[in-house]
Amino acid sequence: MLARAFQYKEALTRVVVKSLDDPFYDYLWDFYTDFNVNIADSNCYNQQWVSLDNTFNVIGYFGAEIDRSCNSVSSIRIANFCKDKSIAFSCDLKEFFIRLFFRYNYSKIDFSVVVGCRNEAIYDKFINRYGGRIVGTFKNHRRLQNGSLVDMKYYEIAKGKFEDKAKVLHPNQLKKYENKNEKR
C-alpha cells in the first residue's frame, strides 16, 4: 500500500539508517549520505511515498523529482527494504508509475540504475513491458557508499507509450483516474 512519506518520516528514517550499514544496500546509497531523510513539506518539486506491508511497516520508498518547466519527472529514487521478493512492493512500484502519469499527468519519467545491481534486470523488463527505452550508459558515473565507482544506465518512458501498455495490462487500475482526468 502506498502512503505519503511525510506521514511515515520517522519510520522511514529508521529503515534508511539501518540499511546504511548493510552491504546488501551498497548500490542504493551514494558515497556521502545524509542521515536525515529529506521529506519535502509539499509536492511542488517532489512526489514522495512509502510502500507499506499489511501491518503498516515501511518496506520501501519511492521519490520523484519534478521538472515543472516541462511537466516531467527528471529522476526517481526507488528503495526496496525487503531482501526477499515482496509482492506488496512490486504492486506499489506499478502504482507509483500509474499515479505519476495518471493522477499527476507528468509527460515522461527519466530514471537510472546502477549497472550490475540486482534490480537492473527488473528495470530492463519493466521499461520493455511498458514501452520505455534505455537511453544509454554513463561510465564511472557514481560513487557508492563502499567507495566504488559504478556505471549508470539511464531510462525514459513517455506517458503515451506507458498508457497504451497499461490500458491493456491493467485496465481496472486505470479506471479510478479516468473520470478525474476527463474533468480537467
Q: What is the pLDDT of residues 40-49, one digit of tens each?
A: 888 888 999 9
Percent of the chain with pLDDT over 70: 92
Which contacts (CB < 8 Å, 24+ apart) does range 16-21 have? 16/61, 16/79, 19/79, 19/81, 20/145
The torsion defined by the Cα of 55, 36, 42 and 153, in degrees rounded to 10, comes to -90
- More confident of the two residues 23 and 1: 1
From 17, 22, 1, select the one nearest 92 (Cα to Cα).
1
Predicted structure pTM score? 0.86
Q: What is the pLDDT of residue 114?
A: 92
> What are the structural domains, with CATH classification, of the chain?
2-182 (3.40.630.30)
Residue 184: the pLDDT is 46
- pLDDT tens-digit series, residues 148-184: 899 999 999 999 999 999 888 888 877 777 755 554 4
Residues 6+ apart with CB under 8 A from 10: none
pLDDT for position 30: 65
The DSSP 8-state label assigned to residue 154 in this structure reads: E
Task: Give the sign of the dihedral formed by CA 90, CA 96, CA 99, CA 101.
Answer: negative
Please determine, for residue 133, whether its predicted confidence score (pLDDT) is greater than 80.
yes
Residue 49, CA distances (Å) to 5, 12, 68, 126, 177 in order: 4, 10, 19, 20, 18
Closest CA to 46 of 90, 7, 77, 15: 77
Best-predicted range by mean pLDDT among 19-23, 30-34, 81-85, 92-96?
A: 92-96
In angstroms, the first-to-last Cα distance of the chain is 27
Mean pLDDT throughout 124-136? 94
For 45-93, give the secondary structure using H, E and C.
CEEEEEEECCCCCEEEEEEEEEECCCCEEEEEEEEECCCCCCHHHHHHH
